[in-house]
Amino acid sequence: TEKIVLDCDPGHDDAIALLLAHGDPRIELLAVTTVVGNQTLDKVTRNALSVATLAGITGVPFAAGADRPLLREIAVAADIHGETGLDGPELPAPAFAAVDTHAVDLIVETVLAHEPGTVTLVPTGGLTNIALAARRAPEIVGRVKRVVLMGGGVAVGNRTPVAEFNIAIDPEAAAIVFEAGWEVVMVGLDLTHQALAGPEVRRAIRAVGTGPARFVDELLDFFAATYRDVQGFDAPPVHDPCAVAHVIDPTIVRALPMPIVVETAGRHTTGMTVADRRGPAPQGCRTHAALELDHTRFWELVVDALRTIGDPA
């Protein structure tokens, strides 16, 4: 199994990423950490604990992290995720609290507690916690197996024409993460805009017939409506589980090596992940970008994970 730490900002698609990580037998969820992004830290943390409660996730520490970006002001995505950050379904009151440890310390402790090269960090929100962890304990950079993040894009933006939200809300943190020296797989919008939850996907999820499946269906009802109204999509792109899917099976989310740097100073381009596709990637290139999704097999992963979760007591 692949041991992961999921660093997230639930967020409709973060919630589905958490369910996929919990339900797929190939993933061992060591810890879940939260970061300001789609909504404020207290909201995304409560949301993560609510999803864990309804999915029956036990024995996994949840820790809250950064409540603001390194330098810039907070910018939430209430237009897409709503005021709670997880608008749509009724959310159960969390059955357990986050641990007292700060997310950055939990990330460091978790990496240092496992064999070198065995823990994968899976950020699906802004990269503030990951950057702080690399600065807090530089020794984790050589010890982490890889960082597989949902964020950025080669030729697509959403926060701006060229910048994706997770990078754009904390570009300085993203620059630290992309430059740290560990292997980074960028699962960006080029890939995640292929992960559309169309009618046949919705039918397959509903057919699972469990509480968590109904929860996901209600999440997607809301997410579909905001994505239609705000971004003009006929079906919503479910971004974050694509990062988890790459860890599960890199033939479902296929990545290519290419140099990637983060713009932090451009008047029009701040937050852009600048990928160099001009030629073959240099030897030892540590950054990769995911470009090709096997849509059918991806959604089979999600539906299978929901089946495995079943109806927790």
Ligand X SMILES: Nc1ccc([C@@H]2N[C@H](CO)[C@@H](O)[C@H]2O)cc1
Residues annotated catalytic, as ranges: 239
From 3, 5, 7, 14, residue interacting with ligand X (rule: CB under 6 A): 14
From 80, 122, 191, 272, residue interacting with ligand X (rule: CB under 6 A): 80
Closer of 80 and 98 to ligand X (Cβ)? 80
- Residue 158, binding choice from ligand X, Ca ion, none, Cβ under 5 to 8 Å by partner class: ligand X
Give me the phi and psi of 288, to 5 degrees please. -135, 155
- Residue 69, binding choice from ligand X, Ca ion, none, Cβ under 5 to 8 Å by partner class: none
**Residue found by looking up tokens 């109904």 in the block:** 214
CB of 93 vs Ca ion, minimal distance in Å: 23
x/- map, 191-220, ligand X, by CB under 6 A = ------------------------------
Q: Are 37 and 67 in contact (CB under 8 A)?
A: no
Give the contacts of 187 (CB within 8 A, at least 6 positions apart).
148, 149, 150, 151, 239, 242, 243, 246, 253, 255, 290
- Residue 164, binding choice from ligand X, Ca ion, none, Cβ under 5 to 8 Å by partner class: ligand X
Give the contacts of 227 (CB within 8 A, at least 6 positions apart).
80, 233, 235, 236, 237
- Residue 47, binding choice from Ca ion, ligand X, none, Cβ under 5 to 8 Å by partner class: none
Q: Which residues bind Ca ion (CB under 5 A)?
A: 9, 11, 14, 124-125, 240
- Confirm or reject binding of residue 38 to ligand X (CB under 6 A): yes
When computed from its CA atoms, the radius of gyration of the chain, rounded to whole angstroms, is 18
Closer of 151 and 212 to ligand X (Cβ)? 151
- Confirm or reject binding of residue 39 to ligand X (CB under 6 A): no
- Confirm or reject binding of residue 88 to ligand X (CB under 6 A): no
CB of 6 vs Ca ion, minimal distance in Å: 10
Q: Are 93 and 53 in contact (CB under 8 A)?
A: yes
Q: For 228-282, where are the E strands, in sequence order?
A: 253-257, 260-262, 273-275
Give the contacts of 207 (CB within 8 A, at least 6 positions apart).
none
CB of 18 vs ligand X, minimal distance in Å: 11
Type and span of the H or E element at 50: helix 41-55
User: Helices H, strands E: what count in the chain?
Assistant: 12, 10
Q: Are 4 and 33 in contact (CB under 8 A)?
A: no
- Confirm or reject binding of residue 154 to ligand X (CB under 6 A): no
From 239, 246, 286, 288, residue interacting with ligand X (rule: CB under 6 A): 239
The binding site for ligand X (CB under 6 A) comprises 11, 13-14, 38, 77, 80, 124-125, 150, 158, 164-166, 239-240
